[in-house]
Amino acid sequence: MKKKKRSVNKELLEIVSAFIIAFLAYQALSLATGTALPIVSVVSDSMYHTNHFDGWWLENGGLYSQYDIDEEQFRMFPVPNGLSRGDLLFVIQGDEPKIGDIIIYRKSGSAFTIVHRLVDIADNGDYIIKGDNNKQADSPVKKEYVVGKVVFGVPVLGYPRLLLHAAGI
């Protein structure tokens, strides 16, 4: 009985240690990237491309002409083929994002983050941001609401984080 109790205590200690190490690693990553959210999961289909690029552009390219973005420019943007729900994104502080960058922002007073593409910068400095799968741009976003910009994404690895998000964690 004593041996079994010691084994259970050891297992619990290992689990708690793993959570503490993961938390500390996340905090270190946050310091290194300059953003409070260095890792983000895509939780919606607003950046999803339903077709390969050519088919997607035929359907959606006209939505970008008002921002003077053509097909060749879009192909040069980071992640021109969009993002899927469950992608895990690596984010850095984006002090001066460029047109085409995928940025993460929070609306004023909201706890939820939004992952969309910067398509224009207004005369007053506000960002015009649009999900690739959305027909219209979001309301203009002030610079201070931007959390960071996406450096790269890894497909499917964001699903465990999505489960935590769905559970309210």
CATH number, domain of 105, equals 2.10.109.10
pLDDT of residue 27: 92
Instruction: Please tell me the distance from the alpha carbon of residue 58 to that of residue 67, in angstroms, as a whole number.
Output: 16
Tell me, what DSSP letter sits at residue 143? Answer: G
pLDDT of residue 4: 65
Is 61 in the same domain as 103? yes
Per-residue model confidence as pLDDT tens for the chain (169 residues): 556 666 888 888 999 999 999 999 989 988 888 888 888 888 888 999 888 899 999 999 999 988 999 999 999 998 899 998 889 899 999 778 999 999 999 887 777 889 999 999 999 999 999 999 999 999 999 988 998 999 988 887 787 877 877 777 6
Query: Domain residues for 27?
Result: 1-33
Q: State the pTM of this model.
A: 0.82
Is 65 in the same domain as 130? yes
Tell me, what DSSP letter sits at residue 141? Answer: B
Q: Report the run of H or E that residue 46 belongs to, with start and end.
A: none
Number of residues that make up the chain? 169
Is 76 in the same domain as 151? yes
Decide if 40 contacts 115 (C-beta within 8 A). yes
The alpha carbon of 117 is separated from its chain's Cα centroid by a whole number of angstroms, namely 10
Is 67 in the same domain as 109? yes
